[in-house]
Amino acid sequence: MLISEIFHSLQGEGELAGMPSVFVRTAGCNLRCTWCDTPYASWSPEGKQMTVAEIVAEVSRHPAHHVVLTGGEPMLAPELPALAAALRAAGKHITIETAATVAPAGIACDLASLSPKLSSSTPPAAQFGAAWSERHESTRWQPAVVAAWLTAYDSQLKFVVACEADVAEIESLLGQLPTPPPRHKVLLMPEGTTRETLAARTPWLTALCRDRGYRFAPRLHIEWFGNRRGT
């Protein structure tokens, strides 16, 4: 499968923030978020072809117990179930970071980190063409797929928030799920790839999380390392 990068770092987001982890980033995505911060794994996929055995060997060079399968959209890779099974056999804890547009189909996973995309992620036609705008918009939110993940796995539901209108949309989407998760399992992350943008959005979002019962999720890897590859 096409692997954009494999690196050892600290998880910067979510319930496992601070956890030493090996990140395996697949290349390729079925979405085109206008603000995507990993174009090398989505719009312009780059990397090298690796077998499952080669990936497991590279992961095993590092001491971390936790492995994060991320992208791009890792669930697009046909070999991902085999990779997850091999990592489980090796005793690893597996987090899958996905936009939850592809059903899990029984894949080995210890934490499903689900990050459905809001309407503000849809690119204007001028960015990638009208066809991509329509495809992104029709693909980004699939409540039955999100529900399948939530039902089958320990999960965290993460949303990127740029403004208060995003929160109203999140509440509308949660209402479309057959069994919405409790609000403390819903993580709201400020949108931004610089410390300055995150700092500007943090005060009102933390206050909103406190008042409505959501979990605020900082993007600690940007505070620690900046928006750099391999971190």
Q: φ and ψ at 213, to 5 degrees? A: 90, 10
Shortest gap between Cβ of 170 and ligand SF4 (angstroms)?
16
Q: How far is CA 168 from CA 18, 36, 90, 172, 229, in A?
A: 30, 22, 42, 6, 32
Which residues ranging from 46 to 75 are in contact with ligand SF4 (CB under 6 A)? 71-73
The answer to whether 42 contacts ligand SF4 (rule: CB under 6 A) is: yes
The DSSP output letter for 180 is P
The residues, ordered by sequence, that sit 6+ positions from 4 with a Cβ below 8 Å of its Cβ are: 25, 26, 27, 38, 40, 41, 45, 46, 47, 71, 72
The answer to whether 33 contacts ligand SF4 (rule: CB under 6 A) is: yes
The answer to whether 13 contacts ligand SF4 (rule: CB under 6 A) is: no
Q: Choose which of 3, 84, 99, 189 interacts with ligand SF4 (CB under 6 A).
A: 99
The residues, ordered by sequence, that sit 6+ positions from 100 with a Cβ below 8 Å of its Cβ are: 112, 114, 115, 116, 142, 145, 146, 149
Q: Choose which of 3, 6, 16, 29 interacts with ligand SF4 (CB under 6 A).
A: 29
Name the residue nearer to ligand SF4 (CB basis): 41 or 188.
41
Name the residue nearer to ligand SF4 (CB basis): 36 or 56.
36
Which residues ranging from 72 to 91 are in contact with ligand SF4 (CB under 6 A)? 72-73
The answer to whether residues 43 and 32 touch, using CB atoms and an 8 Å cutoff, is yes
The answer to whether 166 contacts ligand SF4 (rule: CB under 6 A) is: no
Which positions lie near ligand SF4, rule CB under 6 A? 29, 31-33, 36, 38, 41-42, 71-73, 99, 117
